[in-house]
Chain A
Amino acid sequence: DQQVKQNSPSLSVQEGRISILNCDYTNSMFDYFLWYKKYPAEGPTFLISISSIKDKNEDGRFTVFLNKSAKHLSLHIVPSQPGDSAVYFCAADNQGGKLIFGQGTELSVKP
């Protein structure tokens, strides 16, 4: 039972354009969501988070949008840079600090 889903295993974007990574969840009790970036053979690095009381959180080039009614969140990266190429995981906090991760989306930003 995959409670957090990232249905796109990969995404390719041209440098300078917007990257949109999507994530869906099933459990309405989730109240905090995070995005992590991961390079091969390294641990994930925290990017940005959002509480369920908000619908948007912005940090520089990264913006996370949350649609609670649709149980959907997305990460927007604009403008995309080649250094953004990595695997991006969304995660949901199930109230207690335990994170449930999606399968990840591999982003490739081409120069």
Chain B
Amino acid sequence: GAVVSQHPSWVICKSGTSVKIECRSLDFQATTMFWYRQFPKQSLMLMATSNEGSKATYEQGVEKDKFLINHASLTLSTLTVTSAHPEDSSFYICSASRLAGQETQYFGPGTRLLVL
């Protein structure tokens, strides 16, 4: 199978702190990883696309200095929410695909972030 893990599964932090979320492809090498955000009862919104060894491509309206993405290896991408505020509270989901293009994306279980 194609398994993607995320860590942590949930996190509560104080306003102003930074939070790092890890996304790992466990049994395959992911050329591309994607980061999504989902608000309750809403769709998954793509935040950014990351390719191993290169800078992430951010979607319009997503602050790259706020949401730092690092794709250090073919099995690991990290999303750091810097100086988190309550409005950053959301469900963050990553996905990974083996190839660029129309390859099925395999999603992680998501990380619930609550900023107090």
Contacts and interface: CB of A to CB of B under 8 A. Distances in A.
Given A89-B43, A104-B43, A45 B107 contact: yes
Interface residues of A, number: 25
A44 B91 contact: no
Interface string A30-68: 011010100001111110010100000000000000000
A46 B42 CA distance: 18
Interface string A71-108: 00000000000000000010001001111111110000
Contact of B110 (A42, A51, A99): A42
A43 B43 contact: no
Contacts of B101: 96-97
Nearest to A91: B44
A4 B112 CA distance: 25
B42 to A, nearest CB: 7
Contact of B93 (A9, A44, A103): A44
Given A97-B32, A97-B97, A34 B104 contact: yes
Interface in B26-52: 32, 34, 41-46, 49
B42 A103 contact: yes
Contact of B105 (A31, A46, A100): A46
Contacts of B108: 43
Contacts of A36: 107
A102 B110 CA distance: 18
Contacts of B46: 98-100
Contact of A49 (B34, B42, B49, B104): B104
Contacts of A96: 100-101
A89 B44 contact: yes
- The 7 A-B pairs of least Cβ separation, nearest first, read A43-B107, A101-B43, A101-B44, A103-B43, A32-B102, A44-B107, A43-B109
Interface of A: 4, 9, 31-32, 34, 36, 41-46, 49, 51, 89, 93, 96-104
9 contacts: A41-B110, A45-B107, A51-B102, A98-B46, A98-B49, A99-B95, A101-B43, A102-B43, A103-B42
